Structure 1
Amino acid sequence: MFPIRDHNPSGRTPYVVYLLMAANILIFISYVGIMDNDRLISRFYFDYAVIPARIADGFALETLFTSMFLHGGWMHLAGNMLFLWIFGDNLEDEMGHLPFLLFYLIAGIGAGLIHVVTAPDSVVPTIGASGAIAGVMGGYLLLFPKARVDVLLILIVYFRVFTIPAFIMLGIWLGIQFVGSLASNPDEGGVAYWAHTGGFLVGLILCIPLWLKRGGPEYWSRTHGHPPHPEHKYKLSQSRIPRVPRK
């Protein structure tokens, strides 16, 4: 189950979201050619990825920034850019361009630091924009909890698009990350669940002053938990899997 779009496209052009997407894509293209060379890619990750043990020793602090623009494959990149596209534009619209950029970078660095704190001895390189994007999702949940999100559900041969409130989709996602955080061993590599969980919470906390400035609960009352501009109506396509009537 993953989101494919929300029902509130941005009220103005999300230039920073476009810029971040372009930066992530172009940077990935710049080194994708060495990914089959173990020596070169290992050196590349050593220089630019977060390696908790190095940061815990006070080295390579700049990688908390550089690692946010690296990805381990096309699907890793595509998934992160999809989430950024869906949830980033409304947050940029509400914050303004420069504040949103600062928010994104702080959330990403915060997510990286939380990953380091939870695995200070790990020498596994960590890359990806997902910590920063998790921060975007946390802010989105606080400001627009009832925004309608279209989700694609895939169950083996069953494909269906349906609409749910953002708080359900994001709550399920956060729950999965938290359970993964408790069950995973960062020293063995894999998904950096604590970076996702931590980034989400950092983003939510960073958005509290903006939410309070807008009126807190009164803001939710005015907007009904949706982004404060007209909702776009989509025509959902029905599943092509034939229905078998019950006898």
Structure 2
Amino acid sequence: MEQRLVQFNGEQLACKLSGKGTPVVCIHAPCIGSLNFSYQNALSDQFQLIVPDLPGHGESSSFGGHLSIGDLADLLDNLIQSLGIQRPFLLGYSQGASIALEYCLRNPDSVQGAILVSAFSEVKDLYLHCRFFMAQTMSALRGIPLLARSIASSHLDDQTMRTAWVQHASQTDAICLGSLYSAGHQYNCTDRLNELRMPFLLVYGKEDRQLRPYAELLDTHISHAKMIQVPNVHHQVITRAASTFNQLCRDFIQQTTK
């Protein structure tokens, strides 16, 4: 795996690259960083994986600390162009899926397809509002190590992996993280979903009942979407059901690129 630091106007975006073949750009959830996709490294035997650390995460600069979802989508586009990548697939997890959606809306001819995991196009229920407010508050109170431990324990059983996740996530810039949660809280692209024409794979944990209305909303409004609910797993599909999820990615990309 190659670590790349891409420079933009005095700031840098850290990015991991591995494998060859069809490019897949992976967009992580807040306060995890590129290690979010540790269990997707297996896909590099067939695809080229591009896994950036969002601003303020890992070795990436904060880019001023205050970025909207649109800003992040544009920064992602700059990264993809800088790396010379042509028409990638996007893989977005949780709030990373919101960035993927905005990227697809802004660059419809530059994407082959998108895989959205535990995704939402807006935040409209009390449960998710409270989760975001809690994370914003912890960021403001410099509680990132505690938040990182909570996220790692919910995603992983392996203690070595948990330790690596916590160490990586604890580097996260507090101002940048609070801004990212705030941006996700405000983001709403539901009214534009019918503009999307590329193929989408929507993946949710069958036990993730809180996101079921969001899953149905996306499935209804995106014309070329296929939704799959993975049994016996909640929100953390990419780690808790990694083998099943990875095979879904392989099948979707292969079918789309025939």
| TM-score normalized by the length of structure 2 | 0.26
- The structure with the larger Rg is 1
With CA pairs under 8 Å and 6+ residues apart, which has the higher RCO, 1 or 2? 1
| TM-score normalized by the length of structure 1 | 0.26
| Structure 1 or 2: more strand by fraction | 2
